[in-house]
Structure 1
Amino acid sequence: MEALKVTTFQAYLFWENTEKNLSNLSLRLSSLRTSTDIIILPEMFNTGYTMNVEKCAEEMHGITMQWMKSHAKRYDCVVVGSLIIKEKSNYYNRLIWMRPDGTFEQYDKRHLFTLTEEKTLFTAGTEQITVELKGWKIRPLICYDLRFPVWSRNVDTEYDILLYIASWPDSRIEHWQKLIPARAIENQSFVIAVNRVGYDGNEIYHSGGSMCISPAGEVIYYKPENEDLYTFTIYPKDLIANREEFAFLADAEKFKIIK
């Protein structure tokens, strides 16, 4: 396991405008002055969090997947974010883990938000994934998944980093601020959470609050309100020291979720 350079982009998103979002993201990423291992984008980074699936859904060979592939190659790093994918007659809020060589992993959002039409329009995922980068085991999840600790539970120390991408509104930002440190402490892992900023097409305000929390609950990075492209480094020694001093995970229940 090596030190990991992480770039988070807490972006302002243009409502249901894929071309403008991808152009803005490309422009902002061009200002990077350092190498990085991973670029993390918000939930539905190409459209904003919309339920207009017929207009905004893409297929797996679409423009956003091609953009992710080209930028992962350009910056020689993993690019991760979610978009609306249509497969046959189903729609998915799908997270893509795009590698520089064009190969990728995918995770479909498990918990669909009941206060919007997401639960009726989208198909829920059933499988977790664990990806690896520079020796780190990483569990990527999406927004509303944060509220469900069983789905996030680090059973048998399966991961070292819990990653959330989100479109979390300011009206419930206190929950975001409390739940992310809780997930880090209870799972003895780093938690990296990336939100968006600005108003969406439904006049819902998003105040960011993207952060990285250590396994001990310490704040490594936190940014409210403004659009922010930021790179920081996390170190394996901090993870190892915490788990060696406090072997809490060894005392946790072993269970499997019945899907």
Structure 2
Amino acid sequence: MSDITMPLNVALVQTALVWQNPLANRQQLAEQISRIEGADIILLPEMFTTGFSMQSQHIAEPEGDTLGWLQQQAQQIGAALVGSVATRTDKGCVNRCYFVTPEGQVTAYDKKHLFRMAGEHQAYIAGDQRVVVSWRGWRFLLQVCYDLRFPVFSRNCHDYDVALYVANWPAARRHAWRTLLQARAIENQAFVLGCNRVGSDGNNVEYSGDSLIVDYLGQAVADHAPAQASVLRATLDYAQLKQYRQLFPAHLDADAFVLS
């Protein structure tokens, strides 16, 4: 990793979503994104075009409209965009998280841990690849919502600096959301960004947002007011992260393991 990696300006869009209406959601998010200045990377919630719907055969779209929209928005704003979309593939429907850069680079991660309590494992196919993206000198682990509960999958194998979680995490379990984001940051000595939605969905599930930007000590650098639509911002300093890892190299004593 270069010693001259620049600080990273991040923005998390905590917003309500229009149930199963991609056009309306793209329009409202385009307006919100257009007002964000100076960001390097912007996070959107999980399934930001539809809400967390299990009607995959109805809402999932082939790679096209929304991916093209992400590329256009990224180019216009000059920032990378991250968020997940219900996507139709040759193998079936997936909950696909995109990392789209203003240069046109597209990286995709299909959510591995599907939320069976809502029937997600019956409506979508689980991904089988752990995905890390390198961009502007930083390394990003892509994660989606329920992945947060599985620390082995997000284990830092000296290969990422920031873990990105996009979510539709219900208000009823907000304590777990906030606690686990901080835990993932501490145990992996990495920045953690968690972008969650607000409002209610078509199943009358309420979302409190509680989006967080957490540093490598597990401390909240920035914290959204619960249940309010807003944009959370912070600047991440790689030099400080590197210094902390050198002064407190707990990763050198980590247990060896292999994901099966």
* TM bracket, shorter-chain basis: over 0.9
Code of the residue aligned with 2:162 in structure 1: it is I
Q: How far apart, in 2, do the equivalents of 1:253 and 1:137 lie?
A: 22
| 2:48 aligned residue | 45
Question: Is the contact between residue 21 and residue 49 of structure 2 (CA under 8 Å) also seen in structure 1?
Answer: yes
Residues 222 and 233 in structure 2, CA contact (< 8 A), matched pair in contact too: no
Q: Is the 8 A contact 2:42 2:81 kept in 1?
A: yes
% identity of equivalent residues: 36
Give the structure-1-normalised TM-score: 0.96
Q: Which residue of 13, 16, 21 corresponds with 1:12? A: 16
Q: Pick one of 39, 61, 85 that aligns with 1:58.
A: 61
CA distance in 1, matches of 2:66, 2:250: 41
Report the residue type matching 2:8 in the other structure: L
Query: With structure 2 as the length reference, what TM-score do the two structures score?
Result: 0.95
Q: Describe how 1:140-151 pairs up with structure 2 within 5 A.
A: 140-151=142-153
Structure 2 CA distance for aligned equivalents of residues 58 and 99 of structure 1: 21
- In the alignment, structure 2 segments of 5+ residues that lack a partner are none
* Displacement after TM superposition at 1:222 (Å): 0.8
Q: Deviations over 1:182-241 (max 9, x none)?
A: 110000000011000000010000000000111111110111221112332110122112
Aligned residue for 2:174, secondary structure, equals: helix
Q: Provide the secondary structure at the position in 1 that maps to 2:23.
A: helix
**Within-5 A mapping of 1:80-229:** 80-155=82-157, 157-223=158-224, 224-229=226-231
| CA distance in 2: counterparts of 1:103 and 1:177, whole angstroms | 31
Runs of 4+ in 1 over 2 A off after TM superposition: none
In structure 2, what is the Cα distance between the partners aligned to 1:159 and 1:105? 15
State the shift of 1:133 in Å.
2.2
Residue in 2 aligned with 1:25? 29
On the 8 A contact 1:82/1:96 being kept in 2, the answer is yes
Q: Secondary structure at the match of 2:223?
A: strand
CA distance in 2, matches of 1:194, 1:49: 14
3-state DSSP of counterpart to 2:152 = helix
SS of equivalent to 2:75: helix
The Cα shift of 1:166 comes to 0.4
Is the Cα–Cα contact under 8 Å of residues 42 and 82 in structure 1 kept in the other structure? yes
